[in-house]
Amino acid sequence: MVRPKILLSRCFLKPVRYNGQIVNDDFVNKLKNFVDILDLCPEVDIGLGIPREHIIIVKENNKKRLIQPKTGFDLTEKMLEYTKKIINSLFDIDGAILKAKSPCCGVSSSIIYEGKLVFGKGNGFFAEGLKNKFPYLPIEDEGRLRNPEIRNHFLTRIFAFSELRELIFSTEPKRLIQFHTYYKFLLLTYNQKIMRELGKIVADGNIKFEEKIKIYKDKFYNAFLRRPSIKRHLNTLYHLYGFFSKKLTEKERKHLLNLIKKFGEGRVSLKVITELIKSLAYRFENEYVLFQKYIEPYPEELENA
């Protein structure tokens, strides 16, 4: 697998928080071994010290301001300028993990004040700029990534996008065919309509390869915007079951179908089914199924991270 390039809040690596502490997160610590990291700390990078007085988001006249209450400093313009400069320099990241609840980096978790009262929650200044610039990338904070479904979706996307990034620099048409073949069932699960559109693009001999890659890239990103439902997973599992149904004994067929049913009812994990399908693919020497990214979209070491 290609190593994803991840933008990471520096406080997961160094003691740069407002109180001079480092953030210790189990998932981030494990993920570090599988990704390449570009780190930043917006507050430190705009010149605030360590430690420092805390800053907050204040809503004034329907606009958000970044204020340091104790000093009265308004850091809004400085942070907006910094955010614009950084995001315009980024062009090859596959996702981002930012610090939850931070007024700069929180993803839907930053507290917004109106006067002295809490108005609600939203994105931090830097997180909002990043999400606006890269709406197709997985951008999360460590708080949201504690949710297993959000974490699985995040991991699936960053590893798929890292391999797409490598594909973009290829000049061999057969690489695109191979890539699409490997991702067919993952695409089927996430967005069947786009999967079919991508298949037509790959097969179209009238499109120049450079243009084909560009079109493919944009649609591939869009295919992964939403987490797939259990129903879509079931559709994919039944498709994969079809590769082996005629080769299995009646008891084996019933067992696999029963496990798929239990998955649909939330009684069995998806990993149980995909491991069984992988075993059948080995048994019947079905390389087409073994190569499918749906079976293992990211390193198994991260499965229970």
pTM over 0.75: yes
DSSP β-ladder status, 110-114 and 36-40: unpaired
Kindly report, residue by residue over 54-80, the tens digit of the pLDDT.
Answer: 999 999 888 999 999 999 999 999 999
Please report the pLDDT score of residue 169 as a whole number. Answer: 83
- The rounded mean pLDDT for the chain is 95
> Residue 191: what pLDDT?
97
**Could you write out the three-class secondary structure of the chain?**
CCCCEEEEEHHHCCCCCCCCCCCCCHHHHHHHHHCEEEEECHHHHCCCCCCCCCCEEEEECCEEEEEECCCCEECHHHHHHHHHHHHHHCCCCCEEEECCCCCCCCCCCEEEEECCEEEEEECCHHHHHHHHHCCCCCEEECCHHHCHHHHHHHHHHHHHHHHHHHHHCCCCHHHHHHHHHHCHHHHHHHCHHHHHHHHHHHHCCCCCHHHHHHHHHHHHHHHCCCCCCHHHHHHHHHHHHCCCHHHCCHHHHHHHHHHHHHHHCCCCCHHHHHHHHHHHHHHCCCHHHHCCCCCCCCCHHHCCC
Q: Is the pLDDT higher at 115 or at 20?
A: 20
Long-range CB contact pairs, 274-282, < 8 A, 24+? 277/237, 277/240, 277/241, 277/244, 280/243, 280/244, 280/248, 280/256, 281/243, 281/244
Whether residue 285 has pLDDT greater than 90: yes
Q: What is the pLDDT of residues 7-47, one digit of tens each?
A: 999 999 999 999 999 999 999 999 999 999 999 999 999 99
pLDDT tier, 173 (very low <50, low <70, confident <90, very high otherwise): confident
Q: Which amino acid is at 178?
A: Q
User: pLDDT at residue 116 above 90?
Assistant: no
Taking 80 as the threshold, does the pLDDT of residue 304 lie above it? no
| pLDDT at residue number 305 | 67
Q: For residue 95, how many other CB atoms are within 10 A of its CB?
A: 22
Q: What is the pLDDT of residue 168?
A: 87
Q: Give residue limits of the domains in the chain.
A: 5-146, 172-305
pLDDT of the residue at 252: 96
210-269 pLDDT, tens digit per residue, is 999 999 999 999 999 999 999 999 999 999 999 999 999 999 999 999 999 999 999 999
